[in-house]
A and B are shown apart, each in its own frame.
Chain A
């Protein structure tokens, strides 16, 4: 965020201080200097070697929790962009009157519980780091501040805007949005897929997968006995202001259909197949666009299996998220998920996963039988 230190190009510090000095500062014993240097390093985009260094040390940005267990801190940014803002609710506090604070608290807790219960993961770094959220984040427009029409993970915390009220409501309304942002956090401590092109689309894909799985799992847990909540693959359905031309931000099952001919949003650009993948430069090479291809592969795999999506399919994708190389593409993701499926869940599951990728245009050669 803007308080994190100067940024590249137009503001001087990160361009004046040579990378080797920033690297030294990043290893400093002084927490403030270290944090500032790490962010400056992250923004010194002209120095690609430095980028690799930053990728390898996200732990510098983690805030350890006091008890190394679930620890949520929700701040009120009060319409500004200098994060985190004023502390509004900490772990164990009772709900207050602000729904955004309560949603950020509850949904980050649900996400922590999902990863902990199903995969034994202790927070984003698997070492109990605090889950820091800022709500009511604003964005500067050159004249002042307006409610942010977005949600993001900045490398150390989540930030949620209140939306414009025309297209988007407040971003904490959707559990899958909160879980999406937190999954970016998990990835920054695991695969850290480079946020550009196919690897960036996979980064978005894993965030969408676990965003939706957290919601489905949470809804199933909240359902009364015997009741089966309808399974939805929409991302951000509660976030969009209802209109005939829009029903969500993305549709993992049917990419490209979440909004159509919307006067303010246009038409959902996500492809559902490799033959239609976006090849332009916008959106860092289509990280939010081409993720639709992998999203559909996941849904096809999950729907082909007999259990709940967060069980076998979720487990395969979680294991893949941990081991996939940072510069992986769709073929790598397909190969890794098929291998994990075969090794951990058997040939029938591997066949379903392979078929799912093939349906979206990503082919994984069948393993040769040993002679």
Chain B
């Protein structure tokens, strides 16, 4: 994946504690190695369509909202812990490390 414009917004919320952490990454502003990794993880996640996948029975699971802006396309996905696909977990791991407390700005 080679993207001229790639932005990823991430908001993690909920869990028993109800903590909110977020980040917004501009691929162009990242170091080359980090940018390449982000592009690789976005491609591997395979998020090709917007969706909201929240389990109905689970309580206090964390919720992950990921918005990918790629060229003119915007994909908006929401998962919770039980519904988070295995192939998206590495991307979430990458974004979690860069997230900070608070709502997205």
- CB contact under 8 A between A266 and B20, given known A143-B93, A150-B62, A281-B65: yes
Q: Beta-carbon contacts of A1-26 to B below 8 Å, as 1s and 0s? A: 11010011111000000000000000
Q: How large is the interface on A (under 10, 10 to 19, 20 to 34, 35 or more residues)?
A: 35 or more
Q: How many residues of B contact A (CB 8 A)?
A: 45
Check B93 against A284 for contact (C-beta < 8 Å).
Answer: no
Q: Beta-carbon contacts of A260-272 to B below 8 Å, as 1s and 0s? A: 0011111101100
Q: Beta-carbon contacts of B4-32 to A below 8 Å, as 1s and 0s? A: 00000001011111111100000000000
Most buried by B among A55, A153, A156: A153
Which residues B23-65 have CB closer than 8 A to chain A? 46, 51-63, 65
Which residues of the other chain, B, contact A282 by a CB distance below 8 angstroms?
11, 13-14, 20, 63, 65, 103
Check A264 against B20 for contact (C-beta < 8 Å).
Answer: no
A308 to chain B, nearest CB (A): 26
Nearest residue (CB) in B for A174 is B16
Check A283 against B14 for contact (C-beta < 8 Å).
Answer: yes
Q: Beta-carbon contacts of A132-166 to B below 8 Å, as 1s and 0s? A: 00000001111100000111111110000000000
**Residue of A2, A39, A195, A283 touching B59 (CB-CB under 8 A):** A195
Q: In the complex, identify which listed stretch (A96-104, A177-185, A360-368) lies at the interface while the others stay far away.
A: A177-185
Which residues of the other chain, B, contact A51 by a CB distance below 8 angstroms?
56
- CB contact under 8 A between A288 and B86, given known A54-B56, A188-B57: no
Check A153 against B59 for contact (C-beta < 8 Å).
Answer: yes
